[in-house]
Amino acid sequence: MESCSALDTQGGGDGGADGIAVAADAELAASIMAHHSQPSLILNQVWEGFSFAGKQIRIKESTDLYGAVLWPSAIVLCHFLENNLDKYSMADKNVMELGAGTGLATIVSSLLGAKVTSTDLPEILANLTYNVQRNTKDHCRYTPVVTELSWGQQLEERFPRSTHHYDYVLAADVVYHHPFLQELLETLEHLCQPGTQVLWAMRFRMDIENRFVERFQQRFSMELLYDLPSLNIKLYRGWKP
């Protein structure tokens, strides 16, 4: 994991193949980051402000846990969700978020009308629950459910494929230097059935982790939805062929 602030977006990518690509990237990156307002310090709590789905969203972070910090991939994913409802409607859809962290994508997809199961490791769930409840209570058709999902563990016991069908699996910045990449792949495979679409925002860091894209591509069909070299982020759609 990088030592810089999670929302430090100076990616240092190659800037695209030509001037048009650079301009398109810069314009899209600027409109994505415009959802974010400056953090404020209130009573020793670090907050990040966001504007999505016509609402002001406040996300509480914790500086001592990676999962309790908001990463820019989540903003990219939320921008895509909000701006592509005609093709990727969230209304009444079953959505699973993996590695939800501080919960921004869970909150935005819930505000957009989805039935969301928001998951992460046990130590992340208290802050995740707080953010999800604070930002969705009385604003959503379906109350999002926050629950543990440690990648690769008890998948069929807790999320049986016969009864758990997801329209979307959301994942923002879940690929980085950690020892559970194989388990993450197994989890994606378990959750994806015919009709399931994975919307996965990937921040590119080290080659060893970046090669996860090739492993994903061996098992899923893939489409590139956003390419943002200035943020070092790509957004993919994946589905089972």
Ligand X SMILES: C[S@@+](CC[C@H](N)C(=O)[O-])C[C@H]1O[C@@H](n2cnc3c(N)ncnc32)[C@H](O)[C@@H]1O
Taking CB under 6 A as the binding criterion, the range among 71-79, 109-117, 204-212, 220-228 that sits at the site for ligand X is 71-79
Per DSSP, what are the bridge partners of residue 119? Answer: 147
Q: Quick check: 61 binds ligand X (CB under 6 A)?
A: no
Exactly one of 164, 178, 205, 215 binds ligand X (CB under 6 A); that residue is 178
Q: Between 24 and 34, whose beta carbon lies closer to ligand X?
A: 34
Residues in 130-169 at the binding interface with ligand X, rule: CB under 6 A: 150-151
Contacts of 3 (CB under 8 A, 6+ apart): none
Smallest distance, ligand X to C-beta of residue 20, A: 29
The alpha carbon dihedral of 173, 124, 133, 163 has a sign of positive
Exactly one of 11, 67, 113, 238 binds ligand X (CB under 6 A); that residue is 67
Q: Between 102 and 230, whose beta carbon lies closer to ligand X?
A: 102
Q: Between 6 and 28, whose beta carbon lies closer to ligand X?
A: 6
Exactly one of 28, 53, 57, 74 binds ligand X (CB under 6 A); that residue is 74
Q: CA 63, CA 5: separation in Å to the nearest integer?
A: 10
Q: Quick check: 81 binds ligand X (CB under 6 A)?
A: no
Torsion angle (degrees, nearest 10) of CA 203, 209, 215, 220: -20
**Residue listed under structure tokens 């982790």:** 209
Q: Between 6 and 112, whose beta carbon lies closer to ligand X?
A: 6
Where does the chain have alpha helices with state H? 19-33, 72-83, 104-111, 125-136, 155-158, 181-191, 207-210, 212-219
Q: Quick check: 112 binds ligand X (CB under 6 A)?
A: no
Q: Between 21 and 147, whose beta carbon lies closer to ligand X?
A: 147
Exactly one of 78, 107, 124, 169 binds ligand X (CB under 6 A); that residue is 124
Nearest alpha-carbon partner for 176 in 196, 201, 197, 205? 205
Neighbours of 64 (CB within 10 A): 7
Exactly one of 28, 32, 173, 196 binds ligand X (CB under 6 A); that residue is 173
Q: CA 164, CA 148: separation in Å to the nearest integer?
A: 15
Q: Quick check: 192 binds ligand X (CB under 6 A)?
A: no
Neighbours of 185 (CB within 10 A): 19
Exactly one of 9, 93, 101, 216 binds ligand X (CB under 6 A); that residue is 101
Q: Give the residues lining the site for ligand X (CB under 6 A).
A: 66-67, 70-71, 73-74, 99-102, 120-121, 124, 150-151, 172-174, 176, 178, 180
